């Protein structure tokens, strides 16, 4: 617990940086983000496996490298599934934010329903849904991590206990407009600066 407290400022800075990157460049770096997340998951899995088997130091390093490479490659190959997850994240986050001031269980259930709808829409309309989801989720991540510096909030708790998010939004009225405002700026920036480039190229090729 002490080590986590010492690392909290750096973790928060990293989360804010990642969030801002997603807000303004989420569509462009989406596949890279998938690979990085897959690599981290593979790294953790390799470490757990090496520790459980009782490998030596050299074998543990090899397991970490192999796990990271396999995780990154697998995440890249599972692009469509990740698109669905991104759409789900957008719908679920939006539902929770919009209904956070009402009954918390209704907010969570609405978020789940909108998440499923968003997931299927993301697969059908990948570009716009990826832009929307990365902007909203990035804004949520950045604002939540920023709360560590503004009020020393244990924001990681809400990733471990997502059912507490509606109460968090209700208890901090500034969060909802801040997240939506930052997300809106990010959507406009992504569509203006990078989102329109890919369709134009496809049209010329066709």
Assigned domain for 108 exists: yes
Residue 58 lies in a domain: no
Assigned domain for 65 exists: no
In Å, how far are 39, 118, 133, 143, 195 from 91, measured between CA atoms? 26, 5, 8, 18, 20
- Residue 23 lies in domain: 13-28+80-193
pLDDT < 50 regions, the chain: 1, 3, 195-203, 205-206
The answer to whether residue 183 sits within a structural domain is yes
Domains identified in the chain, total number = 1
Closest C-alpha to 91, from 69, 110, 73:
110
In a domain, 158, yes or no: yes
Residue 84, domain member (yes or no): yes
């Amino acid at each position: 617990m002490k080590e986590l407290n010492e690392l909290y400022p750096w973790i928060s800075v990293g989360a804010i940086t990642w969030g801002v990157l997603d807000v303004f460049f989420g569509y462009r770096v989406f596949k890279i983000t998938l690979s990085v997340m897959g690599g981290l998951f593979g790294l953790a899995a390799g470490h757990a496996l090496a520790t459980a088997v009782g490998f030596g130091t050299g074998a543990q390093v090899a397991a970490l490298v192999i796990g990271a490479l396999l995780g990154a490659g697998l995440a890249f190959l599972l692009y469509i599934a990740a698109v669905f997850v991104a759409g789900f994240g957008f719908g679920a986050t939006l539902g929770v934010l919009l209904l956070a001031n009402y009954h918390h269980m209704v907010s969570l259930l609405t978020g789940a329903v909108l998440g499923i709808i968003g997931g299927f829409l993301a697969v059908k309309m990948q570009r716009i849904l990826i832009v929307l989801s990365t902007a909203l989720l990035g804004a949520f991540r950045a604002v939540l991590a920023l709360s560590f510096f503004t009020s020393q909030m244990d924001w990681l708790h809400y990733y471990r206990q997502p059912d507490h998010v509606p109460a968090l939004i209700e208890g901090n009225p500034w969060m909802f407009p801040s997240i939506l405002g930052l997300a809106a700026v990010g959507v406009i920036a992504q569509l203006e600066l990078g989102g329109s480039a890919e369709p134009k190229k496809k049209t010329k090729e066709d």
